[in-house]
Amino acid sequence: MTVLITGGAGFIGSNFVLDWLGQSEEPLVNLDKLTYAGNLANLGEVRADPRHIFVHGDIGDAPLARSLLERHRPRAIVNFAAESHVDRSILGPAEFIQTNVVGTFTLLEAARAYWTGLPPAEKGAFRFLHVSTDEVYGSLGRADPAFAETTPYAPNSPYAASKASSDHLVRAYHHTYGLPSLTTNCSNNYGPYQFPEKLIPLVILNALAGKALPVYGDGANVRDWLYVADHCRAVRAVLERGRPGEVYNVGGSSEKRNIEVVREICAVLDELRPRGDAQGPYASLIRFVTDRPGHDRRYAIDAAKIRRELGWAPQESFASGLRRTVQWYLDHADWVQGVQSGDYQRWVDLNYGARKQ
């Protein structure tokens, strides 16, 4: 048996691949376009593993998707492939529509044709698992209940709208064609191999370099934080035991204001890599900057369904997961240097350079 993973060289996808091969003898085919956030260095420890078949390609390439399915005959597809950064979607939404909407549609069409032709036993066992985000639900007020699977969609950024579109396509292919699909909507992930455009690695690496730590607006935007290894365990649980046609919300039960997250990172760094008395604590580098357009105020996930039906619960608290994450970045300076290319620096300058303090 084989599983097809898309986006398996990105942050969450590569963690899933490493987790999968660490626990299972079942091989997987890993299809990744290797955009700026896809990095083969994330998969260095399985480079020579015969169970890992890497294919450089795009989920929007219909002939490639069909050929991979026909050649490898997977029992499941797990779709991590996505453009996923809100700030990038504001500055350039077209790539998000192409990958997240058109790409998912193309993959669904290939999966439907493949699944339709399977023998009855294989057809009944096949699964298409689509990995999505809590951002499709929009923004919560301070006292609003957390997002449940029944919360109406109200995406507020081009990124969120593109993921909402892909979620609707997955749902439609189940209800119209019977494709045995599953969708997971997760909260903010963090952990090893995360590209440093996202808040936690950006703050860690800026702090170590003695650079300003930019915090949008008043820093009071709230997110629910999920350690990436816990997310990978949740995806495995949904793939193995989830009911086709269902949606499962995955959250870490760790709501934090952005400024709290930044200050906790600073406190961990003060302990693990102190700057010295002359420079002062890392928190002295915090700078509040102009907020991004349409910044959602609060996200929160109600993960009761996946806990109840599949027995999943996060194993890491935010404190333990954050410490592990900071330590990983301290221990992997070569990886960090490899991703901080000229393109990355140009992006940081473009996104943050013109923001007023």
**2 three-class SS:** coil
Q: How far is CA 262 from the centre of its chain?
A: 20
Q: Which of 58, 83, 87, 134 is catalytic?
A: 134
Query: For residue 115, which amino acid is it?
Result: W
What count of Cα atoms within 13 Å lies in the side-chain half-sphere of residue 250? 33
Is-contact 266 282, C-beta < 8 A?
A: yes
| 159 carries an active-site annotation | yes
Nearest to 189 by CA among 252, 272, 125: 252
pLDDT of residue 173: 98
pLDDT of residue 145: 98
Query: For residue 141, which amino acid is it?
Result: G
Nearest to 92 by CA among 36, 152, 17: 36
pLDDT of residue 355: 60
CA distance 198 to 165: 23
pTM for this one? 0.94
Q: Which of 83, 135, 255, 302 is catalytic?
A: 135
pLDDT of residue 339: 87
Domains of the chain, each with CATH number or no CATH = 3-193+227-253+298-315 (3.40.50.720)
Radius of gyration over alpha carbons of the chain, in Å? 20
Q: Which pair of structure tokens corresponds to residue 155? A: 């995406």
Is-contact 276 247, C-beta < 8 A?
A: no
pLDDT of residue 340: 83
Q: Which of 114, 137, 159, 173 is catalytic?
A: 159
pLDDT along the chain (357 residues), means of 10: 97 98 96 92 95 97 98 98 92 96 98 98 98 98 97 97 98 98 98 95 97 96 98 98 98 98 98 92 97 94 98 98 98 91 65 65
Q: Residue 257's beta-bridge partner residues? A: 222
pLDDT of residue 276: 87
